Structure 1
Amino acid sequence: MAEIKNRNAFYEYFIIDKYTAGIVLTGTEVKSLRSGKASFNDSYCIFQKGELWIKSFHIAEYTHGTFNNHDPLRERKLLLSKRELKRIENKLKEQGYTIVPLRLFFNEKNIAKVEIGLAKGKKLHDKRETIKQRESDRELKRYIK
């Protein structure tokens, strides 16, 4: 089954904490996700009236869908417990924190879940450090082989 990852999030942010949330989807969205037709480009999460929503998460229209096909960029509600929502909302009030979706996957019961991360933005020098670390790890693996 398809697992869609947000690779850019790990480059742009320090991930402080991770949460697994359910996501409210329509039938054609689920079918499209199972075929791996989704993109996390520029997607983010926001609070609206005490609920967490994911914005600009692109799920391509289902190819065999009829007039009932979904809007690819609609806002989708994320499902978390009240305790988790309160904890995240309190952290967001601090300066510099944001919520980014990290990956979308299907669990054992074939239910779509989104892993979201409480993140803090990286500065330019931190991004350079990440690139250096990745290259040195590659060279080390190449040397070991």
Structure 2
Amino acid sequence: MAKSKEKDRLQKTVNISNRRASYEYQFLVKYTAGIMLRGTEIKSIREGNVNLTDGYCTFHGSELFLHQVTISKYSEGTYNNHEPTRDRKLLLNKRELKQLRDKAQEQGVTIIPTRLFINDRGFAKVEIALAKGKKLYDKREDIKERDVKREMARERY
């Protein structure tokens, strides 16, 4: 009985996106990276308790780390529960890390998480993007384009 309740609570597919990032940034290049997680973090991700809004990535030595991403504590966890906002190492190959490091050193470019999902094999992956901040007039243009598309869609129906 307890197992069926747990299966109902866990989602079949997890697809958590950072909608604020697409409003604030223009994406240049996207990469898919694995995440090094601890025990109860994957269970909390499967419940959907993740906040990517304030997240960003930085290099420490030759490794890329994910900062300010909140994975809430697992509800059924014990004293072994994880810290919600700890830094997590991202897993990319050397070529991708070198490309990101070279491009991220440019002025006004940052690395941000855009989407967190679980792949077919059951591993948690994060989609990161090399991004450049938008100006206010860029944001207005995007809003205008979205409104025009919405109006055109309405006229078709």
TM-score normalized by structure 1? 0.98
Choose 1 or 2 for highest CA Rg.
2
Aligned partner (choices 33, 38, 59) of residue 71 of structure 2: 59
Return the alpha-carbon distance in structure 2 between the equivalents of residues 2 and 92 of structure 1. 29
Name 1:116's counterpart in structure 2.
128
Name 2:102's counterpart in structure 1.
90
Name 1:134's counterpart in structure 2.
146
Return the alpha-carbon distance in structure 2 between the equivalents of residues 3 and 105 of structure 1. 5
Q: How does 1:4-43 map to 2 (within 5 A)?
A: 4-43=16-55
1:4 alignment partner, SS class: strand
Name 1:47's counterpart in structure 2.
59
What do the CA deviations read for 1:51-94 (whole angstroms, capped 9, x no partner)? 10010000010000000000000000000000000001000111
Matching residue's letter, 2:96? E
1:25 alignment partner, SS class: coil
RMSD: 0.7
Q: How does 1:65-104 map to 2 (within 5 A)?
A: 65-104=77-116
- Runs of 4+ deviating beyond 4 Å: none
Return the alpha-carbon distance in structure 1 between the equivalents of residues 101 and 120 of structure 2. 29
Return the alpha-carbon distance in structure 2 between the equivalents of residues 133 and 72 of structure 1. 37
Q: Does the aligned pair in 1 maintain the 2:21–2:53 contact within 8 Å?
A: no
Return the alpha-carbon distance in structure 2 between the equivalents of residues 142 and 27 of structure 1. 48
Matching residue's letter, 1:9? A
What do the CA deviations read for 1:20-46 (whole angstroms, capped 9, x no partner)? 000001121100000111001211001
TM-score normalized by structure 2? 0.90
Task: State the shift of 1:96 in Å.
Answer: 1.2
Task: State the shift of 1:134 in Å.
Answer: 1.1
Identity of aligned residues (%): 54
1:109 alignment partner, SS class: coil
